[in-house]
Chain A
């Protein structure tokens, strides 16, 4: 498995990461060396092995559907880059 420039650009787009054009080759090289490393897995027979998502095979804990949080909007928005009247501001989305 080897990624070329356009595939690296596509992955960066999916991850919403701006990558400088000058850096794409070096990302491509390092991603390919990482993928070569992880491809060692493919030689191992895993037929019938149940995938392990949680080390203790725990399941999600449920709680009663009750309000448990207090409103902290001001405190939480104090660290936001741009807000107005309790809303987060982003560039215009709908023309």
Chain B
């Protein structure tokens, strides 16, 4: 049963093969039995899950169940969940029980989903390996010596190990797509503003975007239907009509124009990854797509620009953690400054402190023009590159990551080598564009992800393109060796 997709489980509920309560109990038992291998959950919310499942069963019996009613999911632990610890994987918020729900949490709750628990991540979503979590790293189900990617590493690991059929994630520089690629699942980062940021613990507010992670594009569309939409509580929420993101899944791809950026296929790209991505592109040609080389000339500049802008925004956002209103407070502060400094010094981990300091420096007097303003100018150049190419093609394809999952500890002592992991993903956050990672092959027994990039608000197109690929291939159905279903 645990190999089933969300769409298949929904059919089972509809047919009455099992109740939501039975489904929820089965997943809770599975998490309790297996998650010690993966450390993908920070908190399992058994009691709430069973209460939600009971309510969902009653709603279905009364004929009130929607598409997601009674289906189990889990949330990345940076989405506020009322009455449940919301830690952002930080010591700073280890004691924080949220007094309210994030908009996406309440929307998914209203859609009848059952929340199994809260998922592991890099601390405050800062990382590409899940190793900066206060609760220890999540592990990659394909090889538990390897990282699951990050920052939504727990979300990706839990879906890959079939501990939950789907999960939420957030993506500031690749944090949905990179772990999806490394764990062999499907993950969508929507257009900036498509999904509300209200109640999502902020990292870099002009880049942050929440999205779905699941086995298939179809499942991601089902979840996005509940997550997306205008929210007056988010000042940058896009004011657009609701869409059905599953409506275009079955459109044929004949005539689809695909661009392959030459900068994404340099010698630095792992040969095994390059081969699998090229095979995937050939599959699209069989489906009727036409493929041409395109150029995104400022690709290399996205890393320096991002590592100014994201830390600068983070240093401002994380100033709210002061040991006064919520979160960690140091013992016996001598005075107010000591309270601030020790609460923050003791409550934040090393990578978070590094980024706060980089951001503080970049925004400090005398350096603003050289760093922040320069990075914002480069951000526009990167966006213009994409706009030019997307005037010419429907979607852009390339590898999601430069290599497959790496070993725990391999990059954790060198932040800059870790940052290179996101070279293909973070340009989309800078430009605000949507992107999806789909499993497209394996190299040395580890999954390879194909990134498909579309124009602003083209999520339906991306899900259509990904779904058609998944109808023609079965990479998304591969389950890690050792994961029994």
Q: Which residues of A contact B (CB under 8 A)?
A: 3, 8, 11-20, 27, 30-31, 33-42, 44, 46, 49-56, 58, 60-61, 63, 72, 75-76, 78-82, 88, 90-93
Contact = CB atoms under 8 A, between A and B. Distances in A.
B236 A41 contact: no
A16 B337 contact: yes
Given A34-B416, A37-B419, A60 B235 contact: yes
A40 B305 CA distance: 9
Interface of B: 95-97, 99, 192-193, 206, 232, 235-236, 238-239, 298, 300-301, 303-305, 307-308, 315, 319, 322-327, 329, 333-342, 344-346, 348, 353-354, 356-358, 360-362, 364, 370-371, 373-381, 383, 414-416, 419, 430-433, 456
A14 B376 CA distance: 23
B357 A40 contact: no
Nearest to B375: A41
A41 B308 contact: yes
A31 B377 contact: no
Contacts of B315: 15
B341 A38 contact: no
A18 B300 contact: no
A40 B206 contact: no
Contacts of A78: 97, 99
Nearest to B360: A15
Given A34-B416, A41-B371, A91-B333, 10 more contacts: A16-B341, A17-B357, A27-B353, A34-B358, A34-B419, A37-B416, A37-B419, A38-B307, A52-B383, A79-B327
Nearest to A60: B235
B357 A15 contact: yes
Nearest to B433: A55
Given A41-B301, A42-B370, A33 B415 contact: yes
Nearest to B364: A14
A38 B308 contact: yes
Determine chain B's interface SS by DSSP, over half rule. Answer: helix
A23 B444 CA distance: 38
Given A50-B380, A51-B380, A63-B232, A27 B338 contact: no
B339 to A, nearest CB: 6
A57 B99 CA distance: 33
Contacts of B374: 41-42, 46
Contacts of A72: 99
Contacts of B239: 61
6 contacts: A30-B354, A36-B416, A41-B305, A75-B99, A79-B99, A82-B329
A13 B329 CA distance: 18
A88 B324 contact: yes
A31 B99 contact: no
A93 B336 contact: yes
Nearest to A68: B232
Contacts of A3: 361
Contacts of A54: 192, 206, 236, 432
